[in-house]
């Protein structure tokens, strides 16, 4: 899809959410979930705006390089927050609003997919530019130590273990969230607090994963 067209669709969706939120009559619970979708979309737009400020032609100055790397990390964190919020909105909305306001579930699914898309798009576009002089570490490579080229072998092992731990934790937490969602629906014993707490764990783990990958690229 053309990126400019996608941006236009994002802005149209953003305007629609604001208009509908201000004009339609919803219950407090519905407005909370509506606000979650609104926040998620706002973060996606903020990340997209920040990504345009990354300049390919200023890569060779050390001071600018540091700024670019910090900007890259910031945008990844913003998209990470948007992903977690839209995921919470989808799960809890499916539990509470699937019959009364099924469109909210659709909004959350669309935002969830869009966030995944932008994370992938931003990574593919900017990662090699920001770190063009640094090796992209493939932790599936059997010769990881040679790839990282660090003096301390224990640091290599630690980085590999951290990344694998964060990835495993995130996957398990996502599966747990989905399981709790269906359990809440089937048993009518809603696990909202647990789901929110697990989502926080997902956010922390994914943020640490971003930090670890950025640190690895510095080496």
C-alpha 198/C-alpha 204 separation (Å) is 10
The number of C-alpha atoms within 13 Å of 177 and in the hemisphere containing its C-beta is: 26
pLDDT per residue rounded down to tens, the chain (219 residues): 556 676 777 777 778 777 777 777 777 777 777 777 778 888 888 887 777 766 554 445 555 666 777 777 778 778 878 888 888 888 778 877 777 778 778 888 888 888 888 877 777 666 666 665 555 555 455 554 444 444 455 455 556 666 676 677 777 777 777 777 777 777 777 667 677 777 777 777 666 666 655 555 555
pLDDT of residue 90: 81
Cβ proximity of 206 and 163 under 8 Å: no
Measure CA 175 to chain center: 16
CB atoms within 10 A of CB 166: 20
C-alpha 217/C-alpha 136 separation (Å) is 7
**pTM score of the predicted model:** 0.60
C-alpha 134/C-alpha 217 separation (Å) is 6
């Amino acid at each position: 899809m053309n990126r400019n067209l996608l941006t236009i669709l994002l802005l149209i969706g953003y305007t629609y959410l604001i208009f509908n939120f201000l004009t339609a009559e919803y219950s407090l619970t519905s407005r909370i979930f509506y606000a979650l979708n609104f926040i998620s979309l706002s973060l996606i737009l903020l990340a997209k705006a920040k990504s345009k400020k990354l300049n390919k032609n200023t890569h060779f100055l050390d001071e600018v390089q540091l700024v670019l790397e910090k900007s890259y990390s910031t945008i990844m964190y913003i998209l990470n927050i948007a992903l977690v919020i839209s995921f919470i909105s989808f799960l809890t909305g499916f539990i509470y609003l699937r019959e009364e306001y099924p469109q909210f579930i659709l909004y959350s699914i669309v935002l969830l997919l869009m966030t995944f898309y932008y994370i992938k798009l931003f990574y593919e576009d900017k990662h090699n530019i920001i770190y063009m002089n640094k090796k992209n570490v493939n932790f599936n490579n059997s010769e990881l130590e040679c790839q990282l080229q660090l003096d301390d072998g224990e640091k290599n092992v630690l980085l590999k273990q951290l990344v694998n731990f964060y990835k495993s934790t995130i996957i398990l937490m996502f599966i747990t969230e989905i399981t709790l969602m269906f359990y809440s629906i089937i048993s009518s014993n809603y696990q909202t607090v647990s789901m929110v707490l697990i989502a926080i764990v997902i956010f922390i783990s994914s943020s640490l994963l971003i930090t670890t990958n950025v640190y690895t690229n510095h080496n």
